[in-house]
Amino acid sequence: MIYIGCHLSVTNGYEAMGKQMTDFGGSTFAWFTRNPRGGKSKDIVPKDVNALSVILTEKKFGKLVAHGSYTMNLCSSNPETRANGLDMLKKDLEKMEALPGQYYNFHPGSHTGQGADVGIEQIAEGLNKALWPEMKTTVLLETMAGKGSEVGRSFEELKKIIDLVEYKDKLGICFDTCHTWDAGYDIANNLEGVLEQFDKILGLERLKAVHFNDSKNVCGAGKDRHEKLGQGMIGMESMKKFATNPAFEGKPFILETPNDDAGYIHEISIVKGWFN
């Protein structure tokens, strides 16, 4: 089986997202904890969150994958930007505890010219200030495509971040298929080899969720341009082999393909069909 869904808007509340994904035929979903470009996050209304929890149980959803704002940069060369990013992270994680046991995913950050090593240290510093031992949320570092000064373009960089964090048990990895492909990992022709690398460097037990996207680019382009399933350079057959690989069994798969609602419903149906 597979848990498959897409990003939804939290504008109408948490229960509304659960109902919408049920209508879509999915069994997980993602949402931005605040506007993707920054701004205020939606207040938690206990009745609303509890209503979603009922849906998750009744409909047997998998883990949910919240997404931090794109503007949250823990390793900017600008101290004010770093401070704002840390403030976002702390507040987001506090609100995530209203839905205990879910995932919070974010882009590690861009070092903006400081160098990856400095960026890695700053990201870990921010995580050490934001995580606490009793938290129920697992924080996921996303695999990145490597455009610009992004940190997290390799499994090794992600491992270096984790090594510097005190509460390592609170951390996992979100494997973005487009990003990882664009970073140079050939998941179309050498998936087993890529997974062996991942296991050797990070450990497959760290792999908690998947952003499931085709790519407009050739492997190693470092550009990060998502495409609809089967319409990109990874290709439908390789996407199917990826999703049905035992390493990903039970992981939430989040579609971030360039689609409208009808497109997501169609892709959810396609992916579910691979398991029938």
Q: Containing domain of residue 114, as a range? A: 3-273
Percent of the chain with pLDDT over 70: 99
Mean pLDDT of 87-111: 96
In this prediction, residue 135 carries a pLDDT of: 98
Q: Of 92, 81, 192, 202, nearest to 137 (Cα)?
A: 92
Give per-residue pLDDT as tens, 112-148. 999 999 999 999 999 999 999 999 999 999 999 999 9
Rounded to 5 degrees, what are φ and ψ at 160? -65, -35
Mean pLDDT of 238-265: 97
CA pair distance 177, 188, nearest whole angstrom: 10
Mean pLDDT of 88-93: 96
In this prediction, residue 43 carries a pLDDT of: 81
C-alpha dihedral sign at 162, 168, 171, 177:
positive
**Half-sphere exposure (CA, 13 Å, Cβ side) for 2?**
27
Mean pLDDT of 257-261: 97
Give per-residue pLDDT as tens, 138-194. 999 999 999 999 999 999 999 999 999 999 999 999 999 999 999 999 999 999 999
In this prediction, residue 169 carries a pLDDT of: 97
Rounded to 5 degrees, what are φ and ψ at 128? -65, -25
Mean pLDDT of 2-29: 97
Amino acid at 24: F
Instruction: Extract the tokens encoding 199.
Output: 């296991």
The residue with greater pLDDT, 209 or 40, is 209
Is the pLDDT at 23 greater than 90? The verdict is: yes
Instruction: Extract the tokens encoding 219.
Output: 């492997």
pLDDT averaged over the chain? 96
Sheet hosting strand 171-176, strand order edge to edge: 3-6, 252-255, 207-212, 171-176, 138-142, 103-106, 65-67, 30-32
Is the pLDDT at 42 greater than 80? The verdict is: no
DSSP 78: S
Q: Of 197, 149, 203, 152, nearest to 179 (Cα)?
A: 152
| pTM of the model as a whole | 0.96
CATH number at residue 175: 3.20.20.150
How many domains does the structure of the chain reveal? 1
In this prediction, residue 38 carries a pLDDT of: 64
Is the pLDDT at 69 greater than 70? The verdict is: yes
